[in-house]
Each structure stands twice: as structure tokens, then as C-alpha cells.
């Protein structure tokens, strides 16, 4: 899995993150999107400290696995305005999928900086 470029989001805004998951099985090696049928997914956000990010997330949001017949390998994460309003500074995010049988895997991650929303009065 490749670390994604840093995102910058404004505090108090709603944000939609769309994630593509590639099939990394030996016979496919990332050439196709993964079939996420039957999977669930979560987005977690953790605060950065002086020695890296904290393991305990400050925000966890259920991701939506899109219809795999038309959007194979895609999921979305909707982070509401109320969830981003109190956040500022640097965070680390990750998306984890769960196959429902105890198997979990982090499929995307990156850094995220929340900045002051200058549109707010």
C-alpha cells in the first residue's frame, strides 16, 4: 500500500473521500480493482504527536462500500461538518476493510491537516 499525499481540509466543512481498492492477490497484482462485496469499511483519524500519530483515533466514521456491480473496488467516506468543526492541526487517517470473518486490512492512509475555514464569520 502506498502512502497518499497530505490532504488539507477546512474546519467545519463537510468532506467526501473516495477510495479505490486494488486487488493485490498474486494472480492479479493490482491490475484490477478488488471486489468488496460483503466487506465493511471504516475511516479513522488520529492526532499527530511529537513521535508520530496516536493509535487511539479521535474520529471513526463508517465508510460506504459502493455497488460493486458498477463501482468495483470503490468506497466513500463522508465526514460531516460537525465532526470537522473542532479539529485543527495535523492528523493521520486510514481506511480499513473487514471481510466479516475476522480479516481486516488497511487499504489507504495518509496525513491530513485541518486549517481554519476563512469563509466562516
Q: What is the pLDDT of residues 51-110, one digit of tens each?
A: 777 778 999 999 999 999 999 999 999 999 999 999 999 999 999 999 999 899 999 999
* CATH code, residues 4-115: 2.60.40.10
Give the three cell numbers for residue 95. Answer: 481506511
Instruction: Please say whether the beta carbons of 114 and 88 come within 8 A.
Output: yes
pTM: 0.86
Asked whether the CA dihedral 6, 61, 102, 72 is positive or negative, the reply is: negative
Q: Where are the domains of the chain?
A: 4-115
Amino acid at each position: 500500500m502506498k502512502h497518499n499525499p497530505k490532504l488539507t481540509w477546512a474546519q467545519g466543512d463537510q468532506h467526501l473521500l473516495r477510495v479505490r481498492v486494488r486487488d493485490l492477490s498474486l494472480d492479479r497484482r493490482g491490475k484490477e480493482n478488488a471486489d468488496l462485496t460483503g466487506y465493511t469499511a471504516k475511516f479513522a483519524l488520529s492526532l499527530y504527536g511529537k513521535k508520530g500519530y496516536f493509535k487511539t483515533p479521535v474520529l471513526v466514521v463508517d465508510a460506504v462500500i459502493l455497488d460493486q456491480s458498477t463501482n468495483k473496488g470503490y468506497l466513500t467516506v463522508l465526514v460531516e461538518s460537525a465532526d470537522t468543526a473542532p479539529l485543527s492541526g495535523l492528523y493521520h487517517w486510514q481506511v480499513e476493510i473487514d471481510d466479516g470473518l475476522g480479516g481486516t486490512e488497511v487499504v489507504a492512509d495518509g496525513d491530513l491537516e485541518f486549517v481554519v475555514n476563512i469563509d466562516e464569520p
